[in-house]
Structure 1
Amino acid sequence: MATESFADSLRRLSSAQKGRAQGAPGYSIYINRPIGRFLAAVAYRMGMAPNAVSVVSAIFTFSGIILLMLLTPSWWVGMLIWFLLAVGYALDSADGQVARLRGGGSLEGEWLDHFIDAIKIVSLPIATAIGLFRFTGLPTAYLLVPLLFAIAGTATFFGMILNDLLKSARRVISSAERGGGGALRSVLLLPVDYGIVCLVYVLWGWPSVFAVLYALFCLAAVAFCLLVAVRWFREMRRIGNEAGGVS
């Protein structure tokens, strides 16, 4: 069990996170991170290890994903799914903050966190497609939308992880470590913010309305994936050239 007070734990986390991840999507910074900070302080006071918090996060997230495939859409099912996904996302932020309170994370903890994220990113849209197929009268062709969402999300996540890996191998500071972008970038990135996408499931009980909004978020995810892929490719070419690599 932690010896410092709950308020002291919160203060320590707030101080450590000032200036971090500037320009990241707005929900993740201004809503999810503070909630995660609160949950991290609670978990720390309970003596939970970061990996245990990651597992609890996965339980909430995948419970919501499973319900998409099992329950007939209704307003309360949509609210429950959103709640499970949102809590899972907040706990996903909390595990790293618990590690910070305990003096630093571990390699296996970082691996576990990314591994769970990889499964979550691809399974949520696939479960959405299954739920729409089982319980709604939407055209079968619409199922291509969540499948395209799965491709865009997976490609973006893999590209981000690969960027960090390659930059780290060449001792190049990543954009996340540098920060920057400001509040405007945070607002512009809201359509590709996982927390905002989770909020769309509140409309799960109204399939036609959900389908329109979900398709717009899918379009944003695809556009973002293509744009950052071009940017990342050029950045890797520049880093390779500076290091004397072959273009």
Structure 2
Amino acid sequence: MTTLENPRRSIPELRAELRAAQKSGAGVPAYTRWINRRLARAVAPVAAAWGIGPNTITFLSAALSVAGVAVLVVAPAGLSAGIAAAILLASGYVLDSADGQVARLTRSAGPAGEWLDHVIDAFRTPLIHTGVAIAYYVHRPEDAWVMVVALAYALLSSGQFMSQILAEQLSVRHGRSMAETSGRVKSLVLIPTDPGTLCWAFALWATPVFAPVYALLLAANLVHAGASLRRKHRRLT
């Protein structure tokens, strides 16, 4: 019997079940590991108890992310726009982690839901960076170099996402191990590559600090992507 068919299961019971079925934190950046997943664990039992399915959570996640990008493009580049965008993007990221947990609680996990989640993720991050490029073109055309950084970031995020998904599929097919090392130090080192870090960086949108911070995040992700691509290729060889 699924959770949706069993309204007598309380939110505390659902939370207890979820705590017993968490993913490994190996290789997961700090914000995602210790903040975003915990927030998702708070959201998922409530959604399941209220009869909200995982696909609905996925679409809500996408809608929040699109709204965050729209704020950057449409609203004047002020403090309130940056904070609103950061909150919307971070909230979308919470729901992005919650949809799989709702699927587990409602016994509705399956390939179609996983496919939908990955497809939306494949659009989400490049959309954020494309939105930055458009927003700078509209509000700060004199800073053309940030547009170049944003487009490079979009390209990198697409390639890195494809690398991760394809490596997982090929490792299963060919019996290769893609296991990542764990540890707090690694999670802390990976903070610049954390999607949550990117989301909250937009709180600096109205300040002169945003552009250099954004460029530094790209540089850190380039270094990480190079090491990650080399490691995956070596393990698949």
TM-score (norm 1): 0.90
Counterpart in the other structure of 2:107: 103
Is 1-10 or 151-160 further displaced after alignment? 1-10
Matched residues, percent identical? 32
By how many angstroms is 1:140 displaced?
A: 1.6
> RMSD of the TM alignment (CA)?
1.4
Give 1:169's aligned residue: 173
Misfit runs of 4+, over 4 Å:
none
Quick one: which of 84, 91, 98 aligns to 1:94?
Answer: 98
Instruction: State the partner residue of 2:72.
Output: 68
Measure how far apart 1:141 and its partner are: 2.9
- In 2, the alpha carbon distance for the partners of 1:141 and 1:91 equals 32
- Report the AA paired with residue 3 of structure 1: R
Aligned residue in 2 for 1:241: none
Shift of 1:205: 1.3
Amino acid paired to 1:56: L
How far residue 229 of structure 1 moved from its aligned partner, in angstroms, is 1.0
CA distance in 1, matches of 2:192, 2:145: 23
2:51 corresponds to 1:51: no
Q: Distance in 1 between matches of 2:44 and 2:57?
A: 8
Q: Check if 1:11 corresponds to 2:12.
A: no
Tell me the residue number matched to 2:188: 187
Give 1:173 deviation, angstroms: 4.4
Paired amino acid for 2:139 = F
With over 3 angstroms needed to count, the CA separation of the structure-2 counterparts of 1:173 and 1:12, relative to structure 1, is farther
For the residues of structure 2 that align with 1:5 and 1:213, how far apart are their CA atoms?
44
Q: Does structure 1 residue 136 correspond to structure 2 residue 137?
A: no
Equivalent in the alignment of 2:128? 124
AA aligned opposite 1:217: L
Q: What is the TM-score when the length of structure 2 is the normalising length?
A: 0.93
Paired with 2:164 and 2:141, the residues of 1 have a C-alpha distance of 36
- 8 A contact 1:50–1:99 mirrored in 2: yes
What is the deviation of 1:35?
Answer: 0.4
* Structure 1 pair 44–173 and aligned structure 2 pair: CA distance change class (3 A): farther
1:228–1:23: structure 2 CA closer, same or farther, 3 Å change rule? Answer: closer
Partner of 1:236: 236
What is the count of residue pairs matched by the alignment?
Answer: 232
Which residue is equivalent to 2:218? Answer: 218
Q: Which runs of 5+ in 1 are unaligned?
A: 238-247
Per-residue CA deviation, residues 181-238 of structure 1 (Å, 9 max, x unaligned), is 21111000000000011111001112x211011000011111111111111111111x
* Conserved 8 A contact 2:160-2:225: yes
